[in-house]
Chain A
Amino acid sequence: MSDSKQRLLKSRLSLKTIINDWMIVFLFIVLVALSSLNPNFRTTTNIMNILRQASFVAIIAMGEFFVILIGHMDMSITSIINIVSIFFAGFVVNNGIPMGLSFIIVLLMSVFIGIINGLLVVYGKVPSFIATLVVMNILKGLSYIYSGGLPISGLPSSFGKLALGRLGVIPYAVILMIVVAVILYVYTEHTAIGRSFYAVGGNSEASKLSGINTNFVIILAFVLCAILSSIGALGLTSKTLSGNVTLGDNILFDVMTICVLGGTSLSGGRGRVVGVVIGALFLQVISNIMVILGVNTYLQWVVKGLILIVVVLIDSRSKKE
């Protein structure tokens, strides 16, 4: 009895789940095909590489996931990543502030940015696309003013362990991603506030009239997005041991693709954290294949663009049924 209920529960996001299930199958087929075709792919090193490279982007995508889930969009993540990267490096390298304290400062900064985004949307009634676009540009300006556009290098090598260190064969980055994903999975699917994101995304007016503090939920989504973006940003920064004002410039597209690949509905109310992680892995495998096959970077952008549009088309078709 409760077993069948569980199954029904799982199938509640039916169409999305099908896409996810198919993606897992597809991912598996691609992996098998590649490992038989190209011995380079099969190596533990390469597999771990894929996981490691996917992990920070996955964390950022989990942030954007919250905003998409409530039916909004956060364009400012690119600039959040940039400003966190450059300020963190600046604090540590130029000001000699300890890394732990610097971390807390940039985290508070991102919370502040998330609140601004949320307030603009909730009380300013500004469409989230515009509100976050404005914030993106302001942050971009601030980070260039702060750094003059130049990277700040010279972070201690111990910080590099975040991106490159490993426990046995498993990179720290992957462990971090898994921990974040598990926490967020429980948070979204098994807590009251998590349920509220789905409710607000599904029908914000009905949620409000059910006694849910929709304003708080919306602001919280933007704050979570900013926090997760800044955690991802630190991971990416640790790879090069330098703060960089262009670090996140090309990431928004990947993040959107990951969310959609993972079955998050762009109109809000549907999606799962697990899907986002799978989406991130999928995109990384595709990138990896293209690298191994020697596809040039610009062509990779074209391919990723095509992937996104195909998934969105499938999604909008399945909705019509």
Chain B
Amino acid sequence: MSKNLVELLNINKAFFGVIALDKVSFDLIPGEVHALVGENGAGKSTLMKILTGIYQRDSGEIVVNGEPKEFPHVRESMKAGISMIHQELNLVNHLTVAQNIFIGREAEFSSRFFQNDNKINQKAKEICEEIGIDIDPEIEVSELTVAKQQMVEIAKALSTDSEIIIMDEPTASLTNEEIRDLFTVIKRLKKQNKGIIYISHKLEELFQIADRVSVMRDGNMVDTFPIEEADEDMIIRKMVGREIKIKPPTFDESKFGKVALEVINLNSGDMVKEVSFSIRYGEIVGFAGLVGAGRSETMKVIFGADHKDSGEIRIDGNPVTINNPYDAVNNSIAYLSEDRKSEGIITTLPIFENISLPKLQDFLKLSFLLNEQKEIKNAEEMIKLLDVRTPSSAQLLQYLSGGNQQKVVIAKWLSSNSKILIFDEPTRGIDVGAKDQIYDLMEELADQGNAIIVVSSEMQEIIRLSNRVFVMAEGRITGELSSKNISQEKIMSLAVNRAS
């Protein structure tokens, strides 16, 4: 019998009386990638936070390398060889790669007063070579892509001799090529007998990288099985406890209205070049491309959040001037940002105040006082419609999970009564069940006659939703695909078109 690296036995945890983990057991053996999947709020993060000493369990046992352990603090779990690479990376932007890898442990490499960068650079280089990462240790972290920064985090974990590496949604913002590189690194780690706990919403990845899969639901461990015995449908069924239909889009073009938005030769800096397209009412149009192709930038220019160098924007056939988001909102455009945390939500405000923000003028009485009753009523309708999990509409956004925060952002733009809705990565970090709800909702909005633009890095999302797809690369539209000939291969070939 192989010795387990980690064994979690009957872990229980409750927050203020709400059970978050109910007798959850989990194990990890050397040299395996053990995937942990489940909807948002299933308990994955809580379990990992207990393993890394961020939270304390109520009962149960943590055994690492055969020894029962207590982790009152992250330090202790690190000492026991456990490292976690969080979704939001913990790097200091203005320090070099090597300085980041050895942060907090400079003393080991320095003389009495002076830090010796040569030594840490050398050491960092060795670690990177060991796992085949090509990064200059002397470069500042801020100059690296997200993918490379993630590699730095992995190197950091290895530099502490971690045997157990937890990766939380490592591919969330990576391109396909970067994902391949990451997987190469993970495979090398396996060869070195490290154990990897891999949390992901992207199920298709599991079949490429995982050895075993554990599924959690509502604080319970539903099942653990070798990947060979699984298929995507089965995992989804276990995650949600119900069937999920994946239906191809059916559009009745005759139902489309007139042209809602027309963009002509839009230019802005290096990221938006000669972009022209149009969308009709009732239509869903997808924008595909690799990260950095200029899709979000294009949308931000249309929305007035970024400066326009030249080009024309027409709404209902009339040229409009949009200098800032305020103009855009008044022209019935909504933009749901890809960056929820810094551009979408206001964590210090309650749900209902976040929702009514874009159109406060719709919630007035006596023409200057806010009608909070009306705001709350609207928010409660939205909460019901989008199934936001919250005790009340007065809950501060900071206390909601990521998926629920995203739903609030969607609710915000639905309440603005905009006719042209731009959804930039609408389901990032959202679990499978909620994703489907959001897709249904977007389709319903289109049915009601709204024009919808979807920007997404998830190809399946684009294909599932779009009537037409525009593919961008290096700031230009490299191709347009209409419903019959939308396919993953075609999108990809257009997306790399100019990059190669």
Residues of A within 8 A of B (CB): 2, 5, 8-9, 11-12, 14, 186, 190-192, 194-196, 198-199, 201-203, 205-213, 265, 269-270
How far in angstroms is the closest Cβ of chain B from A43? 41
A2 — which chain B residues lie within 8 A by C-beta? 373
Across the interface, do A202 and B394 meet the contact criterion of CB distance under 8 Å?
A: no
Binds A, one of B102-110, B322-330, B483-491: B322-330
- Nearest residue, chain B, Cβ from A194: B370
Q: Nearest chain B CB to A206's CB is how many angstroms away?
A: 5
A128 to B427, CA, bound (A): 37
Q: Which residues of chain B are within 8 angstroms of A212 by Cβ–Cβ distance?
A: 325-326, 357
Binary contact readout B368-398 vs A (1 if CB under 8 angstroms, 0 otherwise): 1110110010000000000000001110100
**Which residues in B have their C-beta under 8 angstroms from that of A269?**
346, 348-349
In the complex, A210→B347 CA distance in Å? 14
The CA-CA distance from A199 to B357 in the complex, in Å, is 8
Whether the pair A208, B370 counts as a contact (CB closer than 8 A) is no
Given contacts A5-B376, A192-B361, A195-B360, contact A211 B325 (CB under 8 A): yes
- Pair A210/B372 contact, Cβ less than 8 Å: no
**By the criterion CB–CB under 8 Å, are A209 and B335 in contact?**
yes
Q: Is B345 an interface residue (CB 8 A)?
A: yes
Question: Complex formed: what's the CA distance from A265 to B326 in Å?
Answer: 27
Q: A199-B349, A202-B346, A205-B343 are in contact. Are A190 and B324 (CB under 8 A)?
A: no
A202 touching B326 in the complex, CB below 8 Å, given contacts A191-B370, A208-B305: no
Closest residue of chain B to A270 (Cβ to Cβ) is: B348
Q: Known contacts being A209-B335, A211-B329, is A203 close to B370, with CB within 8 Å?
A: no
Contact of B358 with A by CB under 8 A: yes
B168 interface hit (Cβ, 8 Å): no
Q: Is the CB of A203 within 8 A of B342?
A: yes
Contact A211–B369 (Cβ < 8 Å): no
Chain A residues, CB < 8 A from B433:
none
CB distance from B47 to the nearest CB of A (A): 22
Whether the pair B325, A209 counts as a contact (CB closer than 8 A) is yes
Verify B412–A210 contact, CB threshold 8 A: yes
**Chain B residue, CB-CB nearest to A4:** B392
10 A–B pairs (Cβ distance < 8 Å), ordered by A: A9-B350, A190-B372, A194-B370, A195-B357, A198-B346, A202-B348, A203-B347, A207-B346, A209-B337, A211-B325
- Assess the A207–B347 pair: CB atoms within 8 A: no
B337 in contact with A9 (CB, 8 Å): no
Fill in one digit per residue for B325-366: 1 if any A CB lies within 8 Å of its CB, else 0: 110111000010100001111111110010001111101100
A211 x B348 contact (CB < 8 A): no
Q: Closest residue of chain A to B330, judged by CB?
A: A211
B residues less than 8 Å from A198 (CB atoms): 346, 348-349, 353
B423 CB–A CB distance under 8 Å: no
Query: Does B281 have its Cβ within 8 Å of any Cβ on chain A?
Result: no
Task: Give, as a whole number of angstroms, the nearest-CB distance from A319 to chain B.
Answer: 10
Given contacts A202-B347, A209-B325, contact A195 B370 (CB under 8 A): yes
User: Does A192 contact B364, Cβ atoms closer than 8 Å?
Assistant: yes
Is B470 engaged at the interface, CB distance under 8 Å to the other chain?
no
**A191 in contact with B369 given A202-B349, A209-B303, A210-B358 (CB within 8 Å):** yes
Nearest CB in chain B: distance from A188 CB, A = 11
Contacts A203-B345, A203-B346 known; list 6 others, CB within 8 Å.
Answer: A5-B393, A11-B394, A208-B325, A209-B305, A210-B358, A211-B357
* Cα A211 to Cα B369 with chains together (Å): 19
| B324 pairs with A213, CB closer than 8 A | yes
Q: Which residues of A contact B394 (CB under 8 A)?
A: 5, 8-9, 11-12
In the assembled complex, the CB of B299 is this many whole angstroms from the nearest CB of chain A, namely 11
A9 CA to B349 CA in the complex, in Å? 11
Q: Among the interface residues A194, A202, A207, A209, which one has the most CB atoms of the partner chain B within 10 A?
A: A209
Contact of B368 among A191, A201, A211, A213 (CB under 8 A): A191
User: Are A192 and B360 neighbours in the complex by a CB distance under 8 Å?
Assistant: yes
Interchain CA distance A209-B416 in the complex, whole Å: 13
User: Which residue of chain B has its CB nearest to the CB of A189?
Assistant: B370
Q: Please indicate the chain A residues that have their CB under 8 angstroms from the CB of B373 in the complex.
A: 2
Q: How far is the CB of A72 from chain B (nearest CB, A)?
A: 15
Given A192-B361, A198-B349, A202-B347, A210 and B370 contact (CB-CB distance below 8 Å): no
Checking B335, B347, B363, B396 against A12 with a beta-carbon cut-off of 8 angstroms, the contacting residue is B396
The answer for the CA separation of A252 and B330 in the assembled complex, in Å, is 41
The answer to whether B346 and A213 have CB atoms under 8 Å apart is no
Cα separation A12 to B329 with both chains bound (whole Å):
28
Contact A199 B335, beta carbon cutoff 8 Å: no
Bound complex: CA A305 to CA B270 (Å) = 52
CA distance A194 to B349 in the complex (A): 13
A229 to chain B minimum Cβ distance, whole angstroms, is: 25
Question: Is B370 in contact with A192, judged by CB distance below 8 angstroms?
Answer: yes
Contact B345 A206, beta carbon cutoff 8 Å: yes
Q: Are A211 and B326 in contact (CB under 8 A)?
A: yes
